[in-house]
Every structure is written in structure tokens, then in C-alpha cells.
């Protein structure tokens, strides 16, 4: 197995946690999210030529349009955190998928918690 | 007197002519006229007899039988009528000149009788005529004739259904309408969604997009020529316009953030929608003629799902500005914001009835979703339907029937999670599945076809 090439999307996944999770209808970052984002910040500072898109998501327990807004708010919370850590605005795009792209299938607390997320994706 | 009922519309391009026939009374019966009160809910369906609309030749007879079938199915789906089995019929009509033998229809307890005839004329056009009879008072309640291209026969059936419904309920009908919605298939993690359109009864179904891009929340313009919806085309989520006749798609405006939750103004000249940027969503309008953009809300909150009142004077929307999702009403210029929902739970997707008397909404409470209505001042809340997930009500043009979608829960292996369209009367009765060829969500009911 080859180790991922440094600075690539695969390398980011292998060396930083790519996602943070949120409580129901919330977009604030808890302690664990902050730790994850500090790890992302370190990676982004090591590879300053990379760009990312933060994808904001919601669980299925909300209405479609509100969840689009909520996903954007979550993605933006991550963007603002990265910005505060010194990552340039222009390197971080946001997109919301609302409840349209769950990571985990299932109508249960575990699936909902996994789906209330913001995922940082390094551009290829 | 002949009047043109319809102008070119989609693929049913042919002009349609209607002729009002003389309405004749045949007795001085003292009996009360047949009338259905649809405000009561759970009424016993009225038994109605709809013999095949006979014609002089084989083609005419076939059209006439199909037409009567579509008409009967429309009326039965309203929950207000029960079609009588044709095998019970005693009298058959050789022509429109033959009067009903009322005792024959009274004997099988038909209260209404639709006598009709379909004829493909020498010039190739289809002539359809009907008379609606009140069997017990022996009165003719309505009579009309139509001349059109034979391909329009389904529309004629819907137009007659609307005429019968209107004559007997006093409310305008909703059968000559279409539904635009999102057709869905595939697993939840990679769901494929396509814009689709169909007649209100599921006929003439057509996919408008190919599923390459995620599309959401289509809504009709009042002219019915255009749909506004949201698309992730090129990975950039924005509001689009889709022209039904030409199939042309156009991004609406050049907004710096995600635009979503679009809806036309009642005159069709504006689209109202949300734009999300910097963690906040606000409501904007865009004038489709001048492309002028106007911002109506300006808060750090999520303001979305805007819907105009039918007189365009007010806008209902949902916002979490008070801490969680509730319904608000403001003036069309953004002034005078007032919260109208006060019950326990979250409220979303307010949609103003075309009659102006109610606002339909989605409610989330105690882990369940509800479809409900309240008056525009927030009083008189009534919940009509509930489930694991019911969402996104849309009104029939008469403001007396709603459609929405219902999604079932799924297990960790991906079983369940099915989504289908349902309709329900404003009374909370007559909930029924709307048949679609694949799974479905985000329905939008068209106005009556002009």
C-alpha cells in the first residue's frame, strides 16, 4: 500500500479528521469539533497551496428549505473558525446540501448524529 | 355562443371551444336541489351515474368510454362522489335527444347523472357534449358542449369534472390542473432527483431533467408556462427558471450566495426566495422584467420559505429569529413583521391558500411531522395529517385540497425511506396517495389551466 502523496485530498483524510458534528438545529462547535478543526488548520498551514470546500449537512428531522439554510450556517461556522486561525478566506468555499446527502442511512439517533455534520473536502 | 376556453398550452396546443347549451327544467319538482356541502368533511359520497359518452362510430365510442372513465375517476378521487357500476344501469342513451327516464335512475339510487356524447366529426375534430341531471328533482343542472382536437379528450374530461364539481359544491374545481414535483430514485446517500410534471390524475407524465444535477422544490408560475426551482447545476446551488414549452433553463440572477426556496408572486412578475451567505439566510425578491433585486429581511437568523398572500400585499415565511423555527407574516416591502405561530413545536413551509383564508404549514413536534393550516392571523390552527415525515403542503387552486409528501423511516440497511405524494381535503378527510411512476417529493399544484 502506498502512502498518500503529501498535500493531496487522500493525505488530508489520512492525517486530519475531515468532519465535525453538531447538535440538533445547532451550528456551534463543541470541544471535539474545535480539536478536529485545529488538526485541519495545522494541515492547511503545512500545505498552503491547497483549497477546501466545507460541505454543510443536516439530518432528516427538519424541513428541506430550512435544512439548506442550516447546512450553510454549519459550513460557515467551520469557515469562520478556520479564518480565525489564519486560513485565508479565499481558500475556503462553503456549500450546503441540507438533508439531501446523508452520510449514514437510517432513521435513528446514531444516523442523525452522523449526518448533522460539516465535511472539509480538499480540492483536487 | 361560442367562446375560446383555452389558449395554446404545452403540447395540448389546440384551441378548445365551449358552447353553453340551454339549461332546461323538466318539472316543477318541489324537491331540494342536489348540493354537496364540502365544508363539513367526511360526507357520504354522492352516488353518481356516468354512462359511457356514446358516439356514432367506433372511434367516437372509444373516446366516449375513456372520457367517462377519466371523469368518473376525477370525481371519485375528490371523495365526494361514488360512481355507480354501469352494469346496474337500466337505461342506455342512443343520443343526447333522449331524455333520462328518471325512475330508472332513481331505482339504482343515482342522485346525479352525467349524460354525454362524444363524436369525432367529419372535419376530424372532437365534439363532446354533456348534461348533468339531478335525478330526484329531475332538473338539468348544467349542460355544455366542447369542440377540440381529439388528442385533447382527457382535458375535456377534466373540464367536465370541474363543471360538475362546481355545480354541485359551489366551489371551483381543480381537475384541469397539473402537478410538478421531484421524482426520486436510488439510495438516500446518492439519491437521484429529477423534475417531473404530470396531469393532476397522473396522466401525461414527463421527466423534465435527467437526474445529472440535484434539483429541489419546483413551483409553477401563475401562467403555467414556467417553473422556478433549485438546482445544483455545476455544483453551484441556485434558483432557476424552467420554460415548460421550450425546455430552456436559466439561472435566476447572479447572487453571491446559495439561493433557494423560490416561489412566484401571484402576478408572476417576481420570484421571492432566500439567499444564504455567511451563516445567515435572508429573503429577496427579483423582478423578472427589470432583474431588480430587493432585500426584504436583514437579520443574522434563517429567514426562508417565503410565500405571498394572493393579493400580494403580505408575505408569510419561517424564521428562527426568536430562537427556533416559527411562522411570521410581513408586509410585501418587508415591514411590519409579526409572528403568527404560537403552538408547541417548530413550524415551517408556510403556504398561503389561493383563497387567502388559510396558511398551510409543516409542523415538527414530539418527534413527528404534521401538515396543518391556520388563519393568516395565526388563530384556528388545525392539524390535518401526521407521520414520521410529512412535509411541503401545496394548495389545489380552489383552496380546498392540499398535496404534500410523506416519507417513511428507514433502517440502517436502507430499507424504507420511501417518499410519495398524498392529497387531503382541508377538512382533514379523504387522504389518499397520488400515484407517481417513481418515488416523489416536493409537489406543487398548478392553477387551473387557462
DSSP H helical ranges for B114-189: 153-169
Residue B18 reports pLDDT greater than 70: no
- The torsion angles phi and psi of B309, rounded to 5 degrees, stand at -70, 155
CA distance A57 to B239: 19
Q: Which CATH architecture has domain A19-122?
A: 2-Layer Sandwich (3.30)
- The torsion angles phi and psi of A43, rounded to 5 degrees, stand at -65, -45
State the average pLDDT over residues B22-34: 53
B chain contacts of residue A80, beta-carbon cutoff 8 Å = 279
User: Considering chain B, what percentage of its residues have pLDDT values greater than 70?
Assistant: 92
Contact between B289 and B271 under an 8 Å Cβ cutoff? The reply is: no
What is the pLDDT at residue B92? 87
- Topology of domain B2-28+43-169 in CATH is Rossmann fold (3.40.50)
B chain contacts of residue A103, beta-carbon cutoff 8 Å = 189
B178-445: CATH class = mainly beta
Task: Give the model confidence (pLDDT) of B128-172 as tens digits.
Answer: 999 999 999 999 999 999 999 999 999 999 999 999 999 999 999
Task: Give the model confidence (pLDDT) of B262-282 as tens digits.
Answer: 999 999 999 999 999 999 999
Distance from CA of B388 to the nearest CA of A (A): 9
CB atoms within 10 A of CB B3: 9
Interface of B with A in 364-383 (CB under 8 A): 364, 367
Q: Which of B230, B279, B364 to mutate to test the interface with A (most CBs of A within 10 A)?
A: B279
* Residues B281, A107: C-beta atoms closer than 8 Å: no
Distance from CA of B238 to the nearest CA of A (A): 11
* Spans of all domains in chain A: 19-122
CA distance B145 to B119: 11
What is the pLDDT at residue B343? 86
Task: Give the model confidence (pLDDT) of B238-267 as tens digits.
Answer: 999 999 999 999 999 999 999 999 999 999
What is the pLDDT at residue B298? 97
Interface of A with B in 46-75 (CB under 8 A): 60-66, 68-70, 72-73
Sequence-distant (6+) residues with CB within 8 A of B69 are none
For residue B101, give Cα distances in angstroms to B24, B87, B133, B172, B379. 16, 17, 11, 30, 51
What is the pLDDT at residue B16? 53
Enclosing H/E stretch for B19: strand B16-20
Query: In the numeric block, which cell numbers belong to residue A18?
Result: 475531515
Contact between B31 and B137 under an 8 Å Cβ cutoff? The reply is: yes
CA distance B84 to B49: 5
ipTM: 0.96
In b/e form, how buried is each residue of B129-165, taking b as 16+ CB within 10 angstroms? bbbbbbbbbbbbbbbbbbbbebebbbbbbbbbbbbbb
What is the pLDDT at residue B10? 34
Query: In the numeric block, which cell numbers belong to residue B94?
Result: 342512443
CA B242 to chain centre: 19
CA A61 to chain centre: 20
Q: Which range is least confidently modeled, A88-102, B53-67, B71-85?
A: B53-67
What is the pLDDT at residue B28? 42
Q: Which range is least confidently modeled, A109-118, B17-26, B362-371?
A: B17-26
CA distance B210 to B32: 54
Closest-CA residue of A relative to B305 is A65
Contact between B305 and B349 under an 8 Å Cβ cutoff? The reply is: yes
Q: Sort B29 into a burial class: Cβ within 10 Å, 0-12 / 13-18 / 19+.
A: middle
Residue B313 reports pLDDT greater than 60: yes
A chain contacts of residue B307, beta-carbon cutoff 8 Å = none
What is the pLDDT at residue B95? 81
Enclosing H/E stretch for A75: helix A64-84
Task: Give the model confidence (pLDDT) of B159-170 as tens digits.
Answer: 999 999 999 999
Phi-psi region of A8 (alpha: psi -120 to 50; beta: other; left: phi over 0): beta
Query: In the numeric block, which cell numbers belong to residue B164?
Result: 360538475
Closest-CA residue of A relative to B388 is A61
Q: Which of A64, A97, A111 sits opposite B412 (nearest CB)?
A: A111
* Residues B348, A105: C-beta atoms closer than 8 Å: no
Chain A touched by B259 (CB under 8 Å): no
For residue B229, give the nearest of B205, B193, B257, B175 by alpha carbon: B193
Contact between B410 and B430 under an 8 Å Cβ cutoff? The reply is: no
What is the pLDDT at residue B340? 98
Q: Which of B188, B193, B279 sits opposite A72 (nearest CB)?
A: B279
What is the pLDDT at residue B29? 44
* Residues B189, A96: C-beta atoms closer than 8 Å: no
Cα radius of gyration rounded to whole Å, chain A: 14
Residue B2 reports pLDDT greater than 60: no
**Partner residues linked to B348 by β-bridges:** B362
CA distance B177 to B318: 28
Residue with grid cell 421550450, as numbered in its chain: B246
Closest-CA residue of B relative to A72 is B279
- Torsion over CA of B342, B344, B350 and B353, rounded to 10 degrees? -70
For residue B46, give Cα distances in angstroms to B43, B65, B81, B196. 8, 21, 5, 34
pLDDT band at B433 (very low <50, low <70, confident <90, very high): very high
Task: Give the model confidence (pLDDT) of B367-391 as tens digits.
Answer: 999 999 999 999 999 999 999 999 9
Provide the 8-state DSSP code for A65.
Answer: H
Phi-psi region of B227 (alpha: psi -120 to 50; beta: other; left: phi over 0): beta
For residue B446, give the nearest of B151, B199, B152, B182 by alpha carbon: B199
Distance from CA of B56 to the nearest CA of A (A): 53
CA B159 to chain centre: 14
Residue with grid cell 354512462, as numbered in its chain: B51
Closest-CA residue of A relative to B324 is A25
CA distance A75 to A83: 12
Pairs across A and B, CB distance < 8 A: 108
Contact between B103 and B90 under an 8 Å Cβ cutoff? The reply is: no
Residues of chain A with pLDDT under 50: none
Domain boundaries for CATH 2.120.10.30 within chain B: 178-445
For residue B235, give the nearest of A96, A90, A121, A120 by alpha carbon: A96
Contact between B38 and B427 under an 8 Å Cβ cutoff? The reply is: yes
Contact between B363 and B372 under an 8 Å Cβ cutoff? The reply is: yes
Chain B touched by A85 (CB under 8 Å): no
CA distance B264 to B280: 22
For residue B264, give the nearest of B445, B45, B61, B34 by alpha carbon: B445
Amino acid at each position: 500500500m502506498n502512502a498518500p502523496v503529501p498535500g493531496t485530498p487522500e493525505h488530508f483524510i489520512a492525517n486530519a479528521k475531515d468532519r465535525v458534528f453538531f447538535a440538533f438545529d445547532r451550528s456551534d462547535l463543541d470541544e471535539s469539533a474545535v480539536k478536529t478543526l485545529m488538526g485541519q488548520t495545522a494541515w492547511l498551514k503545512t500545505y498552503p497551496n491547497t483549497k477546501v470546500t466545507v460541505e454543510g449537512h443536516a439530518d432528516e428531522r427538519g424541513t428541506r428549505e430550512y435544512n439548506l439554510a442550516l447546512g450553510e450556517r454549519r459550513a460557515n461556522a467551520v469557515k469562520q473558525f478556520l479564518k480565525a486561525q489564519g486560513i485565508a478566506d479565499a481558500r475556503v468555499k462553503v456549500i450546503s446540501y441540507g438533508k439531501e446527502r446523508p452520510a449514514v442511512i437510517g432513521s435513528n439517533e446514531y444516523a442523525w448524529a452522523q449526518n448533522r455534520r460539516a465535511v472539509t473536502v480538499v480540492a483536487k | 355562443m361560442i367562446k375560446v376556453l383555452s389558449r395554446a398550452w404545452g403540447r395540448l396546443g389546440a384551441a378548445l371551444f365551449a358552447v353553453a347549451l340551454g339549461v332546461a327544467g323538466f318539472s316543477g319538482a318541489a324537491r331540494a336541489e342536489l348540493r354537496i356541502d364540502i365544508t363539513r368533511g367526511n360526507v357520504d359520497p354522492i352516488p353518481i351515474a356516468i354512462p359511457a359518452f356514446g358516439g356514432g362510430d367506433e372511434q367516437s365510442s372509444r373516446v366516449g368510454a375513456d372520457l367517462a372513465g377519466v371523469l368518473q375517476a376525477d370525481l371519485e378521487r375528490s371523495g365526494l362522489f361514488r360512481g355507480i357500476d354501469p352494469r346496474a344501469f337500466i337505461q342506455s342513451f342512443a343520443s343526447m335527444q333522449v331524455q333520462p327516464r328518471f325512475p330508472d335512475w332513481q331505482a339504482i339510487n343515482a342522485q346525479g347523472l352525467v349524460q354525454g356524447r362524444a363524436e369525432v366529426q367529419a372535419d376530424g375534430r372532437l365534439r363532446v357534449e354533456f348534461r348533468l341531471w339531478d335525478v330526484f328533482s329531475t332538473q338539468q343542472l348544467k349542460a355544455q358542449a366542447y369542440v377540440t382536437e381529439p388528442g385533447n379528450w382527457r382535458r375535456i374530461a377534466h373540464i367536465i369534472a370541474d363543471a360538475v364539481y362546481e355545480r354541485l359544491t359551489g366551489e371551483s374545481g381543480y381537475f384541469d390542473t397539473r402537478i410538478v414535483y421531484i421524482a426520486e430514485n436510488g439510495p438516500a446517500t446518492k439519491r437521484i432527483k429529477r423534475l417531473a410534471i404530470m396531469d393532476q390524475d397522473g396522466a401525461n407524465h414527463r421527466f423534465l431533467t435527467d437526474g445529472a444535477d440535484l434539483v429541489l422544490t419546483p413551483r409553477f408560475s401563475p401562467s403555467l408556462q414556467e417553473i422556478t426551482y433549485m438546482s445544483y447545476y455545476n455544483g453551484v446551488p441556485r434558483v432557476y427558471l424552467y420554460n415548460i414549452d421550450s425546455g430552456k433553463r436559466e439561472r435566476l440572477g447572479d447572487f453571491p450566495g446559495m439561493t433557494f426556496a423560490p416561489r412566484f408572486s401571484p402576478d408572476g412578475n417576481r420570484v421571492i426566495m432566500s439567499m444564504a451567505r455567511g451563516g445567515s439566510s435572508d429573503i429577496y425578491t427579483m423582478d423578472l422584467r427589470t432583474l431588480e433585486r430587493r432585500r426584504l429581511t436583514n437579520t443574522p437568523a434563517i429567514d426562508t420559505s417565503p410565500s405571498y398572500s394572493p393579493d400580494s400585499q403580505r408575505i408569510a415565511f419561517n424564521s428562527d429569529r426568536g430562537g427556533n423555527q416559527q411562522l411570521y407574516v410581513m408586509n410585501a416591502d418587508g415591514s411590519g413583521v409579526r409572528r403568527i405561530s404560537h403552538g408547541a413545536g417548530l413550524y415551517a413551509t408556510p403556504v398561503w391558500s389561493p383563497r387567502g383564508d388559510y396558511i398551510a404549514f409543516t409542523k415538527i413536534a414530539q418527534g413527528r411531522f404534521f401538515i396543518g393550516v391556520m388563519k393568516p392571523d395565526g388563530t384556528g390552527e388545525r392539524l390535518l395529517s401526521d407521520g414520521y415525515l410529512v412535509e411541503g403542503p401545496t394548495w389545489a387552486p380552489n383552496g380546498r385540497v392540499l398535496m404534500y409528501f410523506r416519507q417513511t423511516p428507514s433502517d440502517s440497511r436502507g430499507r424504507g425511506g420511501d417518499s410519495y405524494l398524498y392529497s387531503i381535503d382541508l377538512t382533514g378527510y379523504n387522504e389518499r396517495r397520488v400515484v407517481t411512476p417513481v418515488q416523489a417529493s416536493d409537489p406543487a399544484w398548478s392553477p387551473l389551466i387557462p
